């Protein structure tokens, strides 16, 4: 029984699983997007998000903890210099999983896992949605302006007629 077992063992021994997740996390940080199976992506998300949270504050202790999990100096440098600055204002949810279908050989469900702040296409769509929201508020403001102009124009039109 699997009572109270929180993470997916991915059919691997502990050392193999730790090495695989470390390598996948390094690839994700360096390339900003990788393609893998859904089960590995979900396990990677649990592994990498605490590391990304530590990258928001650049100090020696956080660098040592990140290096103990990632084992590559270049990746830790990239993480704290570029990625950490870009995700500094985000409260969480640094990765996104996009399902891409099934693999032909064994029908495993495939997906792309990526860092959220590095997908320029998704960022453009959110900016368009923000414009729509401001535009709706603009219509309301225009109606209020038209009503105010109509109220001002009505007394002006009546004043010359009264004389």
Q: Comparing C-alpha atoms, which of 123, 121, 120, 114 is closest to residue 94?
A: 114
Q: Comparing C-alpha atoms, which of 50, 57, 120 is closest to residue 84?
A: 57
DSSP, collapsed to helix, strand or coil, labels residue 92 as: coil
CA atoms within 13 A on the CB side of 50: 11
Q: Which residues pair with 97 in a beta bridge?
A: 113
What does pTM read for this prediction? 0.74
Give the model confidence (pLDDT) of 94-131 as tens digits: 999 999 999 999 999 999 999 999 988 877 776 665 55
**Cβ atoms of residues 117 and 144 within 8 Å:** no
Place of tokens 């009503």: 147
């Amino acid at each position: 029984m699997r009572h109270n077992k929180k993470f997916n063992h991915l059919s691997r021994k502990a050392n193999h699983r730790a090495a695989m997740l470390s390598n996948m996390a390094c690839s994700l940080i360096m390339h900003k997007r990788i393609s893998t199976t859904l089960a590995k992506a979900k396990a990677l998300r649990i592994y990498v998000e605490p590391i990304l949270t530590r990258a928001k504050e650049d100090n020696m202790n956080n660098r040592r903890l990140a290096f103990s999990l990632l084992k590559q100096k270049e990746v830790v440098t990239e993480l704290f210099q570029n990625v950490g600055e870009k995700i500094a204002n985000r409260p969480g949810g640094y990765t996104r999983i996009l399902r891409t279908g099934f693999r032909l050989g064994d029908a495993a469900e495939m997906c792309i896992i990526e860092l959220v702040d590095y997908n320029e296409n998704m960022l453009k769509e959110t900016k368009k949605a923000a414009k729509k929201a401001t535009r709706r508020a603009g219509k309301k403001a225009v109606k209020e302006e038209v009503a105010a102009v109509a109220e001002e124009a009505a007394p002006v039109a009546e004043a010359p007629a009264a004389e």
